[in-house]
Amino acid sequence: MDTDEAVRRVSLIAPMLREDVQTAIVSHAVLEASNAILPKGLSGITTPFVETYNGVQYALTMKLAMDLARIFDLSESKRFPPEEQDKASIPVLAALMSRPDVRNALENEAAEWLPGVEYIGASNAIPADVLEGILKSVEDDHRAGDRASFQNASASFLVIAGRLAVDGSDEKAALVRIREFRNKRLAHSLFDKEPDELPKYSDLHLLLDIAKEAAKYALLAVEGLNTEFDDQARRDHEKAEGYAKCVLDGLKRAASLPTPTAHK
């Protein structure tokens, strides 16, 4: 794969990762807020709709697991190495950004984040050539800063992505469990290939934290934009708490109503 195609893929993957991580954050917020509010609020209350609530929570958990499996998607293929796989995932992006030629091209693009100097007119107090020299110096400083920003962000991204491949690490163990569950239970239902180990709920927390951190640095390196996923997570959690309180209120109201008679 030549450099231009690799850079093109990087530019496509980064914004798709942003959307996938944002979606996972919302699912996680609803799960956490509901788990914190509803079971405690329904203590001692009997309503048949609790089963429906449990079904919704289970569906959200499966969705979050699928979201994370997609964010970290990578096939073990001898024919298609990671950088050639058509997947908008952190491992594929890391494979592409590990190439020196790709990093060099992206760094050159980063140097163009600041528009070039244009003659905007000068007051009589400053000769035009002097003003242009000042603006050029400012531009050079910004270009150097943008190059440094890319270098730091891309290096941080690759370090974070690399943690997923460290044998014996919690990150790799969690990812293996999620991938197996996705391949053998979520995307398919294989009867002769059970997952070696089912994922833990804590795996979802760990992988989402890594996804937020990795995507933040990837977007900063590729687009020059600082995306604060933690801020979004706080906002989503506040909204999810409001949602959970509304659901709790509805379930309490339903519990106080007469039990409906089954139709014959």
pLDDT in tens, 33-61: 999 998 898 888 877 787 888 899 989 99
- Assigned token pair, 13: 């993957």
**Run of H or E residues at 14:** helix 3-41
pTM across the whole model: 0.81
Cα 44–chain centre separation: 38
Structural domain includes residue 100: yes
Structural domain includes residue 261: no
Predicted local distance difference test score (pLDDT) of residue 195: 66
Predicted local distance difference test score (pLDDT) of residue 145: 66
Q: Note the pLDDT tens digit of each residue in 175-222.
A: 989 888 887 777 666 666 666 667 788 999 999 999 999 999 999 999
Q: How far apart are CA 95 and CA 223, in angstroms?
A: 18
Q: How confident is the model at residue 138 (pLDDT cuts 50, 70, 90)?
A: low
Structural domain includes residue 155: yes
Predicted local distance difference test score (pLDDT) of residue 88: 93
Predicted local distance difference test score (pLDDT) of residue 182: 82
Structural domain includes residue 99: yes
Structural domain includes residue 177: yes
Where does residue 121 fall: left (phi above 0), alpha (psi -120 to 50 degrees), or beta otherwise?
left
Predicted local distance difference test score (pLDDT) of residue 204: 93
Q: How confident is the model at residue 103 (pLDDT cuts 50, 70, 90)?
A: very high
Q: How confident is the model at residue 119 (pLDDT cuts 50, 70, 90)?
A: very low
Domain span including residue 251: 3-256
Average pLDDT over residues 130-152: 66
Residue type (1 letter), 127: P
Q: What is the mean pLDDT of the chain?
A: 84
* Residue among 140, 158, 149 nearest 100 (CA): 158
Predicted local distance difference test score (pLDDT) of residue 254: 79
B/e letters for 115-141, b = 16+ CB within 10 Å, e = fewer, are eebeeeeeeeeeeeeebbeebeeeeee
Which stretches of 72-227 are DSSP H helices? 90-97, 100-110, 128-162, 170-181, 201-223
Average pLDDT over residues 228-257: 90
* Residue among 161, 38, 149 nearest 91 (CA): 161
Predicted local distance difference test score (pLDDT) of residue 188: 66
Cα 255–chain centre separation: 39
Q: How far apart are CA 174 and CA 182, in angstroms?
A: 12
Contact indicator for 181, 199 with CB cutoff of 8 Å = yes
- Assigned token pair, 121: 């007119």
Predicted local distance difference test score (pLDDT) of residue 50: 79
Cα 111–chain centre separation: 26
Q: What is the SS3 assignment for 209?
A: helix
Count of domains forming the chain: 1
Predicted local distance difference test score (pLDDT) of residue 120: 45
Between 41 and 122, residue with greater pLDDT = 41
